[in-house]
Every structure is written in structure tokens, then in C-alpha cells.
Structure 1
Amino acid sequence: MDEKYLKKIEYDKIILLLANYADSIPGKAYIESIRPSDDYDLINSTLNELESAIYFIKAKGKPNFEGLEDTDKITKRLRLKGILNNKELIIIRDNSYLARKVFETAEGVSQYCTNSEDDIKTKIDNIVPLYDIEAEIRRCILSEDEIADDASTELMRIRKTIFKNQDAIKDKLLSFTRSERYKKYLQDNIITIRQDRYVIPVKNEYRNEIKGVVHDTSQTGSTLFIEPIEIVNLNNKIRELITEEKKEIERILRQLSEQCALYIDEIMNNFSTCRYLDVAFAKASYAFAYNGVVPNINTEKRINLINAKHPLISKDIVVPIDFKIGYDYRILVITGPNTGGKTVTLKTVGLLTAMAQSGLAIPANNGSEISVFDSIYVDVGDEQSIEQNLSTFSSHMTNLIQILKEADSGSLVLLDELGAGTDPVEGSALALAIIETLREKNITTVATTHYTELKTYASVTENVENASCEFDVKTLKPTYRLLIGIPGKSNALYISRRLGLSEDIIKKASNSIDNKNSDYENIILALEKNRQKMEKERIKASEYKNQIEQIKKELETERANIDKEKDRIIEKANKEAKKLIDKALNKAEELVNEIDNLKKNNITVNAKVEADFKAAVRQTRELFDIKETDTETEYQNYSDEIRSGDSVMLRSLKQKADVLTAPDKNGDLIVQAGIIKMTVNIKDVFKINEQKAINDRLKTNIIKSSGPAKMEIDIRGNTIYEAESKLDKFIEQGYFSGLHELSVIHGKGTGALRKGVHDYLKSHPYIKSFRLGTYGEGEAGVTVVFLKEKNLK
């Protein structure tokens, strides 16, 4: 896209702002080169990546790329087998550190985009951490000017030897500076260095008193810096060691460089990846700054901006607009008074389109849509700004001629004050012809104008639509709101009247206006009044709707609170009831135990009363002893199959009930629990598999209370009531233990006990058949009982 057109919509200012959000100098430089793309797939991929970067920042925060430096020249030197200096090695170390930290930060972050190639996490995963290189350079290189003593064993030895010789020299020189003999010869009692050799300052007149080499003279010539002959050899030794030190340092740098050369591709990859990520996260951070959203992208030349704002206008004063083009029309003609917001609208559309095509978020609401255009052409005049218009007819026409030559159906054309700066009649005719030419080429166009002829043209021409920037005639100020479908009115006469211009002059001006134009302006005024009335009614209706929604929410909250309180009260009552029931049952079982103890002590107890009492206790326990943890296994949760006559469990009360009516359309049904009838919802009940629940509880109770199953029982000497109580437990124990045959010893006697046993067996649900014993089994004194197959389902 042509740079001059991008500059007219102030795209360059957006790029400068975006660059401030990058951490590194390479990142900032890369941003400055970003331009809108016309590749749909690339734009879509970049925007998906931006969305995942925004998600990453929310999850982990923004990674830091400060200090990242370009490694292009460094890797070129490595390819030529050059030796890197300290600074270059530090750059590789620091870049490796930054890359590693970003890589480690991304660990545990889930992928955001459906297509992994578009996800920022995938880009981060391209980083190759260079742990060894980073650690080795950090160990050896302390700064741009210093190598660590322990970079190698040899370097450590050399430097220790140097220090040892330096100490010897200092000790020798101290013997001069502290000696009374030499004190008068010295200018100062100090040791200094000249030409990398240790010397002492000697007065010129005593130069022959101290034998040695003169290395320097003071400016006045009064002081000579002499290396005493006694330390010349030591200084020479140090010079040799320094040379060895330099060679060893060069060897260390060569070795580090060779190690880096093994990872040239990784070094380049990590740098380019980090620079790319710095730019991507800068885009995401910039999006946070102006509450930007990632727009939908299309190639059908449709633009739909919802609550869009110009990103360069202060948040405190910017007025959002709704803008749409490319659906029922490809050309939009915007009219209205000066400083009403027409140019701002024009620039907002162009700038947001360019931003989206550059992979940036736009300051608008979710659901906004931008089309991909091959190019954007803009004519807003020389040095045009949002506050003023300095364009001339000639500059307009020069731009228009070029635009009409180059633009096609894939272009977006933005024209400000079309036909202005010349005779109104000719200017109007030119503007009309230009718009018609753009329409014939099917070019997406947004144009601003004051000409009534263009308003009329837009009203009657297919694929062209009117729009206006709203103006409040009461306050004489623009509202800057864009109204699509309504042509603008200049309001010049109305404004003049409000400002106090003589009514005679107003009338004269009105009479000079063409009747057709006057009628058209009056129609526009009437439409505007109706629109404002409808807008007020819409706002009022919206307020009513919001109030209703608020009341609805409050009622729902209140209902929820009531339901919670109801559940709490029911739960509390249920717990208290269960405590009372458990207490009563425990008391009853204590009485059962007391009866058993009385019998053990040979105290006579009425057998029928005992049997009835124990049966009542057992039945009561079966009815109420329902554990919450067993609910899902004991009861079937098939609420949609509940019918009249079924047994259900009330969830809140943990109480068994019988269904009296089938659920109605709201899911409500009538149930009876004991003597109480109530209406409950189908969601509040479980359907009970009653036989299974009873069998399971019976099985549990029998196995708990009776121990191992027996195959025969002797009831001789018992009354029929005592015998039935014992037989009940005996048969149930055998049945649930899986036995098939039992023996009951009742004796022959009068036959009364045998008859009572047979009557009892005939009505027992677990008995398949029975017979008297045969020879060897006890004959008539024994009854052999055959049990049914066990079924606990």
C-alpha cells in the first residue's frame, strides 16, 4: 500500500505508539517496518496469534525481552571461523537467557487456537534453550573487559604468578620509599606505574643516586620516574606473564567461539523467534491499552464496525460510531455540517481497516468485521488533521486523478469534501460524476460532501447509501454520531436564526433557495425529527426492558434464597426427625435385648408378643434406616418413568412415599408419605426398586445378626409363636446364604407343632416346597424344606 495514503489516515502514528510497547531495539525496528497485508490467510493467522498472545498475557503475564540484541553480524563471524570478543559472547549469553526464560514461562500454558500453527505457544516452542553455552559463557566472561580467573586452570596459574611477582616488586620498592637513605632522593613516598612497569618518583638532581631505567619525566622536568635496577628482572617477568595471559585469554575466547559455532542455527533461530514474540506481545499489550478486540475478517468487502473509536483521540472525548458498508451498498455518502465528525469517521474506517490488515486489534466491540482490501486510497487534503482542513481544489483533483487510475474493485477509497474548493455547481457535477464512476467499477467508497445533489443521488441510486453526522440544533453542537440511512442537513439558516441573525435576512435567503432543494431539506428535517423521536422511544423502551430484567433478577435471587432457606429448614427438620427415630429404634432394640436376656434366665415371655414386637422393630428399621451414601445404588433415578402407583423416595426428606398421580406438564405430582399427601416436583424424587432395597437390607440384617447359616433347626418344646420367630430368622439366613435345603426338627408328639410349622411354611415367600422326612431323616418328626433360588436384584 502507498505510504502517502497510509500517512493521511495517520497509520504512522499508530506504528510509533505500538513500537513503545516493544521491549527490545530489534523489536521496535521490526514494528516500524509493519505494513498492512492483503493476504487473507496471513492476516487471519496473525490475528489468531494475537488473540492467543492476549490469552497468554492474562494467564502468565507479558514476557520480558529487554536487552535482546541482533546476532546477525555475530553469526556471520562465526561462519567465517572468527573469534568473538567479550561483548559478542555476552550478547549470545543474554539472548540465550531471555529465550530460555520465555520458554520456561510458557510451560503449562495450554494452547488457545484451534489451529496450533496460529498459536503463540507454538511459536514459543520453537525456542531451543542453550543451557550449556549460556552457563559456560557466564562462567568465563565477567564483563566486556574482564575474563574470570577460573575460566581455565592455566589462566588461574598465570594470574597467581603475576600477583606474586607484583607483590615482590612492591616489597622491593617499599624498601626504597621507607628507607631513610633514599628518602631525600624521592619526590614522593609512592609507587606508581609507567609503561606497564613499576617505578618510583626521583628528584632530578639525584638521578645518579638510584641506578635504574628512566621511563618518564614530569612536565617540569624536576621528577624522573625510575625503575630501580633491582626490580627490572621482576618487571620483565611480569611482562612475559601478561603476554602469556593474553594468549590464554585468546585461546579461551576461541574455544567459546567454537562452541557457539556448533549452534549457529539455534542462535539465529532464538533471536528471530524472540524478536517476533516481542512484536506479538507488543501488539497484545497495545490492544489492552485501548481495549481493542480482534475483528472478524472477510474477503467480501464488508465492513461492520460496532462502537468503533478513533485510537488517536483521547478516551475522554472520543465518540464511538457504528459503521457498515458492503452489505446492501458499496458506496456511502456522508453529509453534514463542518466539524461534525465526517473526517473523523473517514479516518476511523481507513485506520481500523489498515490496523486489522496489519494484524492489530481494533478499538471496537466484539463482532466487528473488517474486509481485506488490496489497497486503500485516501484524499483528505494537504496537511489534513482531525481538527482542520487545509485542502485545496487542485490538491484534491490531483489525488483524485491518480486514485481513479489505480483503484479497482479490491480497493477501499476514502474521499473527504468531494468536489469542494471550486464553483458549487461545477463542483457538485464533478462529485456526482466521480461517485458514479466509482459505482460503475464496484469500488468500495466512503465520501463526505455538502452537496444536496449527492444526497439526492444516494437516495435514488442502487448500491449507494446516505449517512450523516448528527448535529444538535438546540445546543448548536455536533454529537459526532454517525447515522446511516439519513442524509445530513447543513442547518445554516437554522443556526443563523438561533444565533440572532435578522429574520428579514433569513427570509431573503430562504426565498433565494431553489424550491426543490428547500423541499428536500424540509423532508430531511422531518425525517430527522421522526428519527430523534423514535430514538427517544427506543431508549425509553430499552430502559424499561433493563428495569424489567433487573426486577426479574431480583425475584430470581429472592426465590433462590427462599428455596435455600426451605431446604435448610427441611434438612434441619429431617436431621431432628432422624435423631428421634434413631433414639426410638435404639430404645426398642434395647427392649429386644432385655427380652432375650429374660429368656436366657428362664423367665417366661409371651411368644406372640415377642414375635410381633421384634417384627415391628425390624420393619421400622427397614423403613427409616436409609443411608445417603447408598442412594444411587438402592434407588433408580428414572424420574421420567414415574407413574401412579410407583414407590419413590423424597430427596429432601429421605422418606419413602407412594405416587398418587402421574407428573403433569410442569413435572409436578402428588405423593403420599404415611398419612400426609403433598405435591412435589419430579426432580425432587427417586423411583425406588423396592424389592431390591428390602432384599438388600434383609440380607444385611440377617448376616449381621445371625452369623454363619445353619442347615437344621430344633424347635422341639417351643410354642408355635416361639417357633415362628426362630424359623423366620433360620429360613432368611439360609436363603440369603444360598442354601437350597433345610431341616426343621419339630418332633412327632401330638402333631400340633408340626401342623403350625407347615401352615407357616405354606405362606413364606422363600419356600419352594416342603415334605416330611423319610426313613433315616427323622420321618414324621422332621420337615425337609426346599428354598427358592436366591434373587436379590
Structure 2
Amino acid sequence: MIGTRALKTLEFDKVRAQVATYCTSSLGNHAISELVPKTEFDQVKALLDEMDEGLSILRIKANVPLGGIFDIRPHAKRAQIGGMLSPQELMEISSTIRASRIFREFIEDIEEEGDIQIPHFSQKKSEIPILTGLQHEINSCIDDNAAVMDSASSELRSIRQQLRAQEGRVREKLASLTRGSNASKMLSDSIVTIRNDRFVLPVKQEYRSHYGGIVHDQSASGQTLYIEPEAVVQANNEIHRLKAKEKVEIQKILIHLSALVQEVAHELFGLVRLLGEIDAILAKAKYGQANKCTMPVMNNDGYIKLTKARHPLLPIESAVANDIEFGSDITAIVITGPNTGGKTVTLKTVGLCTLMAQAGIPVPALDGSELAVFTQLFADIGDEQSIEQSLSTFSSHMVNIVEILKEFDDQSLVLFDELGAGTDPQEGAALAISILDEVHGRGARVMATTHYPELKAYGYNRPGVVNASVEFNVETLSPTYKLLIGVPGRSNAFEISTRLGLPENIIENAKAYTGTDRHEVDAMIASLEESRRKAEADAERSHHLMVEAETLQKDLDEKLREYEETKEELVKRAKEKARKLVEEAKREAEEVIDELHKMQINANKAIKEHEIIDARKRLEEAAPKENRVLKKQRQVNARAVKLQKGDEVKVISYGQKGTLIEQVSDHQWVVQLGILKMKIDTSDLEYVKPEKTKETVNVSAVRNRDSNVKLELDLRGERYEDAMVRTEKYLDDAMLSNYPRVSIIHGKGTGALRQGIQALLKRHRGVKSYRFGEAGEGGYGVTVVELK
């Protein structure tokens, strides 16, 4: 188990608080507040898989129905020991059972669709107890406003009927008094009011004796007395008696319902636990979506690889993303450099991402990141000065480090911030090296920060250890917070002082005191940084060129593919067109010959056989050819565009006049040439004379948004069969109106109408998707439909 000290030091509670804001119920909030990182690989893997399933559900459904859930554990516990529950408590129990039923049906719908696999959610769904009977029993007695309904029992209905009748009689009696001849003079106001649960009249003080009866109250000025007249005292007493009787009957009903809750109290505890877990899982998924987090790959080998990782508690827009990799060949990283450079943020990023992953929370890094499951995580970070224990910063750090050295093992991640600080630099550096040797030597994964120059050479002298630093921009005199693996940090004190205006002679004298070795080390570090920057710039340019080349290659391949497809399609169309033209010409020729044969027979062989042969030849030669359409004839086509059915035209290639019968396409007409009907290209036609203009009317049967179709359909109170018919017709009308989205109001009720409506939506050809309404749209009483 991860120690509470590490959780507090790394501020894991703040991450939990951020995740909790995405919960939809107090149950989810409670589950997140108790969330701690797991240390067993299988448990961690299961937590992340659950969260990943939640992400998948949110991607395809956007909204998960978890409204109406209450923490009903106190209610169930009180019922368990024989207590009587209030109508409000019973209503909350009913609402929670109903929410669990809706969620169960929601998961069943996803399983039926089969778009994603959700084994963990399916398992939780199967564990949800079915308590529909209790829900219906409560709903038959308690309404949505937590009031006991008349239908709760026949006795209660009878009592309330008597009560309403009695109250009506009293009101009528008092109302008659307010309408009396002297009422306006003796009453402060002509109304019937209530004081001490008794119907009274507001009587002016001087006319108190006129009405008799009992004074129940008076105004602040004392000028108005609220009197129960003698005439209604007995009637009011009867109302009180009926109300007492009503109260007794309500208690009987509540005791009966509480006994039913008592019988299933154990199942209710399990239901609350499951709903809290489900809400917490979905909250993690929503947190991941909102903060651009991903699910890391987990291993049991101590290997960490974070790609573009950000500190979880820093704003996305300002946090600097870093690549961090160690735990395989390299098991220790020593980050050197000046203060305020971002070294501590790097430690916390690694520590927090590890804790988040082991708690099933997605981490703020790119896809492909990998983290290890550690049995223990230790963090010595920050100013640990203890005034209460009279310990200095160094002493307090040492107390913490001693505890770490007692407990860590080769399955631990250890984070040291400013190791050895707060004491003599030489002794502090020596202690830091010795502590690192001990932790690294026993196989733990360790990250440490320090500003001691002696540790810059540590990574070069120890196998499995690498130096790192946080980049500092000398030009702007500020850190870039970018982690540089393999490059030790340097102080930059001389460069900073020069830019701030310190005299050159003072800086040169200071350099003389630092020694040759120091100059050589700084020169080496500067050279490494320059080489790294050049390599990164070259790599960036190469990457851009490669991306551009790949994009260009894809574009060329796509254009070539489109060209080949277009060419094949055009050739295919041309061949098909030619074939049809030939077949049509032959068919029409045969028709002409048949006509001529008939004419020959009817004309007593007046037409000779050679004339028929000549006609066939002429028809074969009359087949339309592109080279016969002269430039002048193509110019006529500009006028032919406006040709209409019934116009008289001249077929240029035949030199014959004819009449337009019908337009086959934009470029072809059927023309009546004597007894022949032929398909002729528009370019081969010449307009002869206008025919009588025939007015054409274009009728559009397609409705537009000016129609009276509303954006919502209210089915509350409708019979089931009528509602189905209305819904189907409404969807057709909405599609004709080109609506992208409509709402169907079916209410909450028993859920039968909602289920029927959503079953119809699932099979309707025009429905793209549907969901329950948001809180501001009507919740589960409304289904929002996306139309195709």
C-alpha cells in the first residue's frame, strides 16, 4: 500500500478533488474520496480497463443515465432496525432503484448493439439487484413530490374525501358570513383564512361580540381579531378529528413500506456500492476526456516511459510537456541545475502520474506512454522544516530519508528533491552520493534533484545512472522547464550576471577563482547543449520533410487512383453509349423497313423493292456522327437549349422538319419525322417556328421549415397505441421538414411508453441516434432524436 505521506507530498488529494467534480451523485463523490492507488498489477489493470470501457461508452453515447441517485444507506439502515421512513426517504429509495433499472437497460442496449465490448460494465450490470417490485409499491403510495397519495389505501381515500367535504362546508359557511349585509363594515377583509389549523374570519376589534366563538390570533396593531365563529366550531372540530385519523392512516402506510425496505436492506447497500463505483469510473473517464489524458500501458518491470507528460495540477495551456524514460537499462536519473528551473515539477509529474495510473485514473500524456506498478512510492520533496520538533530543514529531510531507507525495496519508486541540501556543500554532496548509491544499488527506481556540482559527474561514473537538467534560456533569463536527459545542468551564474550589468573585470576575476576543471566541465556541458539543440533542430526539420513527403505521396496516389477510375468510367460510358446508339439506329431502321413493306402492300405494290433497299441504305447512313455537326450547327445549339415539347424543328443532318415529342436528356430529344420517331442530339436541331407556349407548373411536394411541424412532440397522457402512431407520423413530418433534431416528451411514469418510443426509434429508417435529455432538457422524461 502506498503511504499517506507520499500521497500528501505529491498532492494526490487535489487530483481526486478534480476527478470528483465530474461525478453525478454523492455516491460517486464518496467513492472518489476513498480512492487510493492499488499495488497489485491485476487490480491496477482492472481499474484502468474499467475506466477505458467508460471512455468507450462516452465516445459512442455521450451521456450515461445516472440521474436520480441518492445515498440511501442511512434510510436502509434505519429501516433495518425497525424505524419508520418518511415519504421523502421512501421517494429517494424509489428514485435510486429506478435509476439503477434505467442504467441496467442502457448497458443491455449497448450489449445488443455490439459496437463495443464492455465486460466490466456487463459484470456490474449483472450484480445490480432487481428491486422493481419495491419501486412500484412505493410509487403506488408516494408521488414525485414526496406526498402520500389518496390511492395509497382505500381508508385514506375515504378519510380525505370526508375531510375535503367537511372543509368545503366550513369554507362555504364562513364565505356566507363574509357576504352578509354588514360584513364589509365588521370585517377587516372579506376573506376566509386559517389560524392554528382552524378556519377563521378577520373581524374588527369593535365587532368582536357580534360573531361570538373563539379568538385564535390578532394583528400586530390589535385592530383585527381572527375569530372562529360559534357556527363553525363543531365543524372545525370534525376537521381536526379527520386530520388526526388521516395522520394515523399515513403512519400505517409508511410503516408498511418501511417493512418492505427492511426486507431488502442488504440488497440496497449493495446497490448503492455498485452505483457509487459506476459513477466514479465514469468520472475518471470524463476527467480524462476533459484534460486530454490517455490510458497508459502498465508493466511489472519498473519501466517508465512518459511521452509529452504534463503535471496534472497545472493548467493545460501553460504546462510544459516532457518526455521521461527510465527503469530498464537506466534505473536512476539525477537532475542538476539551479533552483526555480522546474526540477521539482518533473519529480512530481512522474510521481503523480504513477499514483494516478495505479488508482485507475488516465494520465496527462500522449498515447503509448507506459508506467510501472510499484508496491511502494516514497517522496522527499519540499521544505520539511519542523518548528514543533525543533528540526532544521536538513534534519527534517534526514528523518524522512532514514525512514525511506528502512522501508524501500527493489519494487519501489523513490523521489528525492534537493538531496543533501541544507548543510555544508561538500558534506551534503558526499551524503547525496552515498544515499543514491544505496538506493540505486538495491534495485529501486530513483529520481533525484540537486544543485551540487559534484553530482554532475555521478551519471558518468555509475552504470544505470543518467544525468539530466532543466533547460535555462540565458537570453530571457528564465527557465524553459524542458527536461534534457543526458545533459547535466550548469549554474549560468556568469552569463546571467553579465546580462544584468555586472562589470566584466569582476566576472573575469570570479572565473579565475573557479579553476580550470570547472571551466572545462562548463565548456563540455555547453557543447553538449549546443549539440543537442542542433540535433533536435535537424530532427525536427527531417520530421517535417518526411511528413510533407508522405502527404505529397498520398495525394499523388489518390489523384492517380481517381484518374484511373475516372478514365475507366468514361471509357465504359462511351462504349455503352455507342452500343446503344448502334442498337437504336438498327431498331429504327427495321421499323422504317417494316413501315415501307406495309405501305407497299397497302399501295398495291406501288413501291418497288429497290426503293426499300435505298431507304435502308439511307437510314444506315443517317446514323448520327460527330463529324457531321458543323461549327455553324453547334452555334444553333445555343438557341436549341430553350426547345420545348411540341416545337417544330429542322433536323440539320437529314434536312427534314419534324416535331419534338419528348426530351430524353439535356442533350437529346425524340423527334417525329413523318411516320418515324427518332432520337436526335440537341446540337443537330434547328428551331423553326414557335408553337403555342404551354405554361408549366413545377409542384414541389417537399415541405420546408415553414410548415407547422413543431420541434417537439408531447405524448404525455396518450394511450400506448395512439402514441406509437403519432410518433411515427411525427418523425416522417420532421424528416420532410429537414429538421436535424427533435424532442419526444414521454414523461417518466412506469417507463413503458419510453421503452416503446425508443424501440420504435431504434428501427426507424430516418433516425440517426437518440439519447435521454440533459438536466435542462427534461432528463429521463424526454428523448432527443438526431435525424438523418
TM-score scaled by structure 1?
0.69
d(CA) in 1 for partners of 2:165, 2:113 = 63
1:112 and 1:351 map into 2 onto residues whose CA distance is 38
Name the counterpart of 2:454. Answer: 453
Match of 1:472 in 2: 473
Q: Aligned ranges for residues 695-734 of structure 1 at < 5 Å?
A: none
Secondary structure in 2 aligned to 1:333?
A: strand
1:500-549 C-alpha deviation (Å, 9 max, x unpaired): 43333233222222433332332222222222222222222222212221
Range with greater deviation from structure 2 (76-85 or 561-570) = 76-85
In structure 2, relative to structure 1, the CA distance for the partners of 1:587 and 1:77 (3 Å cut) is: same
Q: 1:212 to 1:404 in 2, by over 3 A?
A: same
Task: Give the CA deviation at 1:143.
Answer: 5.8
Distance 1:426 1:106 in 2: 63
Question: 1:570 aligns to what?
Answer: 571
2:416 matched residue in structure 1: 415
The alignment yields a C-alpha RMSD, in angstroms, of: 3.8
- Closer, same or farther: CA 347–111 of 1 in aligned 2, 3 Å: farther
Tell me the equivalent position of 2:397: 396
Which residue number in structure 2 is paired with residue 253 of structure 1?
Answer: 254
Q: How far 1:497 moved relative to its partner?
A: 3.3
Q: Which residue of 1 aligns with 2:375?
A: 374
Matched, 1:295 2:296: yes
- Which residue in the other structure is 1:488 paired with? 489
Displacement of 1:465 in angstroms is 1.4
Q: In the alignment, is the contact (CA less than 8 A) between 2:6 and 2:379 conserved in 1?
A: yes
Partner SS for 2:53: helix
Give per-residue Cα distances to partners, 1:345-403, cap 9 Å, x unaligned. 1111011111101110001111111111122211222279xxxxx99323322322222
Contact kept? 2:77, 2:265, Cα under 8 Å: no
Deviation at 1:184, TM superposition (A): 7.4
Q: Does 1:405 pair with 2:406?
A: yes
Q: Which amino acid aligns with 2:318?
A: I
- Using the aligned pairs only, state the percent identity: 39
Q: CA deviation at 1:226?
A: 5.0
Q: 2:78 corresponds to which residue? A: 77
> In 1, Cα distance between the equivalents of 2:113 and 2:434?
50
Contact between 1:74 and 1:88, CA under 8 Å: does it hold in 2? yes
Q: Is the 8 A contact 1:113 1:119 kept in 2?
A: no
Cα distance, 1:135 vs. partner?
4.2
AA of the residue aligned to 1:413:
V
- Which residue does the alignment assign to 1:325? 326
- CA deviation after TM superposition for structure 1 residue 499, in Å: 3.7
Secondary structure in 1 matching 2:456: helix
Change (3 A) 1:130 1:581: farther
CA contact (8 A) 1:59 1:109 kept: no
Give the 3-state SS of the residue equivalent to 1:454 in structure 2: helix
State the distance in 2 between where 1:383 and 1:124 align: 47
CA distance in 1 between counterparts of 2:528 and 2:198 reads 98
Tell me the residue number matched to 1:23. 24
Give, in angstroms, the shift of residue 298 of structure 1.
1.0
Report the alpha carbon displacement of residue 334 of structure 1 after superposing the two structures with TM. Answer: 1.0
Any idea what SS the aligned residue of 1:146 has? coil
CA–CA distance in structure 2, aligned partners of residues 520 and 45 of structure 1: 49
- Conservation of the 8 A alpha-carbon contact between 2:160 and 2:246: yes
Q: Which amino acid aligns with 2:355?
A: A
Larger radius of gyration between Structure 1 and Structure 2: 1
Sort the Cα spacing of 1:226 and 1:307 in 2 relative to 1 into closer, same or farther, 3 A.
closer
Q: Check 1:456–1:316 CA distance in 2 against 1; reply closer, same or farther (3 A cut).
A: same
Change (3 A) 1:185 1:420: closer
Q: Distance in 1 between matches of 2:177 and 2:169?
A: 13
**CA separation of 1:293 and 1:175: change in aligned 2, threshold 3 A:** closer
Long gaps (5+) in structure 1: 385-389, 598-602, 604-793
Q: Is the 8 A contact 2:65 2:106 kept in 1?
A: no
Task: Name the stretch that deviates more: 506-515 or 51-60.
Answer: 506-515
Deviations 1:614-649 (A, max 9, x none): xxxxxxxxxxxxxxxxxxxxxxxxxxxxxxxxxxxx
| Alignment match, 1:305 | 306
Instruction: Give the aligned partner of residue 512 of structure 1.
Output: 513
Deviations 1:539-580 (A, max 9, x none): 222222122212212211221231122122212222123324
1:35 corresponding residue in structure 2? 36
User: What letter is aligned with 2:458?
Assistant: Y
**How far did residue 46 of structure 1 move?**
0.6
Distance 1:228 1:54, change over 3 A: same
Q: Which has the higher mean CA deviation after the structures are superposed, 365-374 or 185-194?
A: 185-194
The answer to whether residue 79 in structure 2 is matched with residue 97 in structure 1 is: no
CA offset digits 1:591-614 (Å, max 9, x no partner):
9999999xxxxx9xxxxxxxxxxx
The equivalent residue for 1:279 is 280
Contact 2:429 2:454 in 1 (8 A): yes
The 3-state SS of whatever aligns with 2:109 is coil
SS of 2:171's equivalent? helix
Partner of 1:743: none
Code of the aligned partner of 1:424:
P
Alignment CA distance shift 1:160-1:383 (3 Å): farther
Query: Which amino acid is the alignment partner of residue 296 of structure 1?
Result: V
The answer on whether the counterparts of 1:381 and 1:395 sit within 8 Å (CA) in structure 2 is no
Equivalent in the alignment of 1:559: 560
8 A contact 2:56–2:116 mirrored in 1: no
Letter of the structure 2 residue corresponding to residue 524 of structure 1: I
Return 5+ residue gaps in structure 2 as ranges.
Answer: 386-390, 599-604, 606-788
Q: Is residue 106 of structure 1 aligned with residue 82 of structure 2?
A: no
Could you tell me how far 1:265 is from its partner in structure 2? 4.1
**Change beyond 3 A, Cα 1:401–1:383:** closer
Q: Compared with structure 1, are the counterparts of its residues 568 and 228 closer, same or farther at alpha carbon in structure 2 (3 Å cutoff)?
A: same
| Aligned ranges 1:493-642 → 2 under 5 Å | 493-583=494-584
The whole-number CA distance in structure 2 between the counterparts of 1:501 and 1:75 is: 75
TM-score, with length taken from structure 2: 0.69
Output aligned runs, 1:732-771, within 5 Å.
Answer: none
Shift of 1:204: 7.0
Q: Tell me: CA distance 1:111–1:6, structure 2 relative to 1, closer, same or farther (3 Å).
A: farther
Q: What does residue 354 of structure 1 align with?
A: 355
Give the distance between the partners of 1:111 and 1:123, measured in 2 at CA. 16
Q: Alignment partner of 1:359: what SS?
A: coil
Q: 1:77-108: CA deviations, max 9, x gaps?
A: 33334332111111112212322332333343
Q: Which residue of 2 aligns with 1:53?
A: 54
User: Quick check: 470-479 or 583-592, which moved more?
Assistant: 583-592
Could you tell me whether the CA contact under 8 Å between 2:73 and 2:272 is conserved in 1? Answer: no
Amino acid at match of 1:246: K
Asked whether 1:340 is paired with 2:349, we answer: no
User: How far, CA to CA, are the matches of 1:9 and 1:585 in structure 2?
Assistant: 90
CA contact (8 A) 2:141 2:151 kept: yes
Taking the aligned partners of 2:323 and 2:400, their CA distance within structure 1 comes to 28
Q: What is the CA–CA distance in structure 2 between the aligned matches of 1:156 and 1:19, rounded to whole Å?
A: 45
Cα pair 1:87 1:143 within 8 Å, conserved: no
Deviates more, 1:221-230 or 1:56-65: 221-230
Letter paired with 2:466: E
1:726-778 residue CA offsets vs partner (Å, 9 max, x unmatched): xxxxxxxxxxxxxxxxxxxxxxxxxxxxxxxxxxxxxxxxxxxxxxxxxxxxx
> SS where residue 332 of structure 1 aligns?
strand
Deviation at 1:48, TM superposition (A): 0.5
Q: CA–CA distance in 2 between the matches of 1:155 and 1:141? A: 13
Compute the displacement of 1:251 (Å).
2.5
Number of positions where the alignment pairs a residue of Structure 1 with one of Structure 2: 603
The offset of 1:451, in angstroms, is 2.2
Matches within 5 A, 1:670-709: none
SS at match of 1:140: coil
| CA pair 425-168 structure 1, distance change in 2 beyond 3 A | same
Written as runs of structure 1 = structure 2, the 5 A alignment for 1:640-655 is: none
Distance 1:514 1:111, change over 3 A: farther
- Counterpart secondary structure, 1:324: strand
Q: How do residues 138-153 of structure 1 correspond to structure 2 at under 5 angstroms?
A: 138-142=139-143, 146-153=147-154
Distance 1:58 1:507, change over 3 A: same
| 1:625-679 deviation per Cα after TM superposition (whole angstroms, max 9, x unaligned) | xxxxxxxxxxxxxxxxxxxxxxxxxxxxxxxxxxxxxxxxxxxxxxxxxxxxxxx
SS in structure 2 of the partner of residue 108 of structure 1: helix
The verdict on how the C-alpha distance between 1:590 and 1:201 changes in structure 2, with shifts beyond 3 A counting, is: closer
- Counterpart CA distance in 1 for 2:559 and 2:505 is 66
What's the counterpart of residue 3 of structure 2? Answer: 2
Cα separation, 1, equivalents of 2:558 and 2:9? 54
How much has 1:201 moved relative to structure 2? 5.5
8 Å CA contact retained: 1:381, 1:391: no
